[in-house]
A = this chain, B = another copy of it.
Amino acid sequence: MPRLLIRNVSVLVVPEQGECRIDDAQDVHVQDDLIVAITPTDAAGPEDAVIDGPGLLAVPGLVNSHTHSPMVMMRGAAEDLAIEDWFNQRIWPMEMNLTPERVRVGARLACAEMLLGGVTTFVDHYFHADQIAAAAIESGIRANLAPTFFSATDATGSTNKEMQAAFDVTRELGELHPRITASLGPHATYTVNDDDLRRTAEVARDEGFRIHLHAAETDDQTQASLDKYGVTPIQVLERTGVLDAGALIAHGCGIRPEDLPILGRYAGRTAVASCPKVYLKLAMGEVTPIKGLMTAGVSVGVGTDGAAVHNTLDVWEAIRMVALTQKQREQDAEWMTVDDTLRLAMRGSAAAAGLTGKVGVLEPGHQADVVLVDLNAPHNQPLHDPRAALVYSVRATDVVTVLVAGQVVVRDHRLTSMDLDEVVADARSLAHTLVDLSKGGSIQHYDP
């Protein structure tokens, strides 16, 4: 690929510590999939291809650090329900209807929504992950995919075929494409037994995968685990070797203070993804204890969870909810500052995706995952502080242009990789099949 120049943009710089800053009038030099240099702008640059950026702010491509992308197919179909009914009356019965085609159609729509909103990487946990990979590859987005599995419920104690099959999918996805990475995907500590978690941890360590799973989603789950087994879900993860192997823990709202030193021991290879819109909507009682986690050295990223509960895959919205709900949780308006929020969203989410050093910042040697944002619309003006705008007033529709791995995937608000009308029409035509409960049954039962 020839060199590409993003000319005369402002650039968001997110350091590991301290204040973020905006460097104005910069050129971002891209070669192949990499940022090779960022220099003061020079109108006489030699590059073959140029994206002109005056008036635009370049920010690192957003990372959605926990989602179930094909669940866009159930958007708005399970409202005003507590978590038990949400799972048992709607989602798990609906998921009896999953087919490879429906998953792929949903994943294509999800990739379109995310790319148009500046999301360049998503960390997914779902069934038929090969279909999600195909959609991601087609759309141009980057993805870390964990094929979901439960423990067998027949209690034979024999090898869990579903788990072995999921392991095989992870192995295949790991070799598939430069933009696709794979993780092992046990569903949760309450749906996968300790033996299977141990086996998962062994495979993770032996083959170099991370483990992405749900744990301590609510304090009720933590209490139930204590009541049944005498240990917290985080202690389950430790004793089964999951933390030692390296884990991305979704939600963690039920992480107790006594869990923090445990997580701290594995901080270098442990991350937590926080999706706070969901915790309010399901009235889960707590949000992720981010302050404690960060004090323990654990990386925290931001995600949307699936659109069957979050209703969007809008990571800007999720970022804003992290800032707002963390200030509320700690009763401290000076905590989770704009700078801290951007650092969590960029560096924290990259770590959650297992992609530190590759994505999350705009620096030479990193992947050219670049989002150009237009902050000139009235809702961001006057612009006293672009960093505050990114957290508190920006809209996903302010995203103008998106590059992933040096490829332009959104240009002037339009997807270049797929026919958006077709993507939406396909999802519409199949939507009714996903929410049809007439056949009965359920893929799982929520009783943590």
A→B interface (CB under 8 Å): 72-77, 79-83, 86, 109, 112-113, 116-117, 277, 279-283, 285, 307, 311-314, 323-325, 327-328, 330-335, 337-338, 376, 378-385, 388-389, 392-393, 395-397, 420, 423-424, 427-428, 431, 435
CB distance from A4 to the nearest CB of B (A): 26
A396 touches B395 (CB 8 A): yes
Interface pair B285/A331, CB less than 8 Å apart: yes
Q: How far is the CB of A316 from chain B (nearest CB, A)?
A: 10
- CB-defined contacts of A388 to chain B, threshold 8 Å: 75-76, 79, 311
Which of B331, B392, B395 contacts A283 (CB under 8 A)? Answer: B331
Closest to A109 in B: B378
21 intermolecular pairs with C-beta atoms under 8 Å apart: A75-B380, A75-B384, A76-B385, A76-B389, A76-B393, A77-B385, A79-B392, A82-B332, A109-B381, A109-B382, A280-B324, A281-B392, A282-B327, A283-B332, A312-B379, A313-B379, A379-B396, A382-B428, A382-B431, A384-B435, A395-B395
Q: Nearest chain-B residue to A397 (Cβ)?
A: B397
Q: Is the CB of B384 within 8 A of A334?
A: no
Least CB distance from A103 to B in Å reads 14
Q: Are B283 and A112 in contact (CB under 8 A)?
A: no
Give the distance in Å from the alpha carbon of A77 to the alpha carbon of B393 in the complex: 12
Q: Give the residues in chain B near A281, CB-CB below 8 Å.
A: 323-324, 327, 333, 392
CA distance A313 to B378 in the complex (A): 10
Asked if A283 contacts B333 (CB within 8 A), the reply is yes
Given contacts A72-B381, A79-B388, A382-B428, 11 further A-B contacts (CB under 8 A): A73-B382, A74-B384, A76-B393, A79-B338, A86-B333, A109-B381, A109-B382, A280-B327, A311-B389, A312-B392, A395-B395
Q: How far is the CA of A280 from the CA of B334 in the complex (A)?
A: 12
Which of A285, A381, A383 gathers most chain B CB within 10 Å? A381
Q: Which residue of B lies closest to A105 (CB)?
A: B382
Report the bound CA distance from A117 to B424 in whole Å: 24
Q: What's the least CB distance linking A276 to chain B, in Å?
A: 9
Interchain CB contact under 8 A, B76 and A113? no
- Which B residue sits closest to A334, measured CB to CB? B80
State the Cβ distance, A90 to closest chain B Cβ, in Å. 11
Closest to A309 in B: B392
State how many angstroms separate the Cβ of A69 from the closest Cβ of chain B: 12
- Contact residues in B for A396 (Cβ distance below 8 Å): 379, 395
A343 to B334, CA, bound (A): 34
Chain B residue nearest to A424 (CB atoms) is: B381
Complex CA distance for A74 and B393, rounded to whole angstroms = 13
Residues of B within 8 A of A424 (CB): 376, 378, 381
A397–B397 Cα distance when bound, in Å, is: 7
A80-B338, A334-B81, A397-B395 in contact; A379/B314 too (CB < 8 A)? yes
6 shortest interchain CB distances as A-B pairs: A382-B431, A311-B392, A76-B388, A280-B324, A283-B333, A77-B384
Query: Across the interface, do B435 and A393 meet the contact criterion of CB distance under 8 Å?
Result: no
Bound Cα distance from A334 to B86, whole angstroms? 11
A73 to B379, CA, bound (A): 11
Chain B residues lying within 8 Å of A328, measured Cβ to Cβ, are: 279-280, 283
- Interchain CB contact under 8 A, B283 and A75: no
Minimum Cβ distance to chain B for residue A418 (Å): 11
Q: Is the CB of A76 within 8 A of B334?
A: no
For A435, what are the chain B residues with a Cβ–Cβ distance below 8 Å? 384
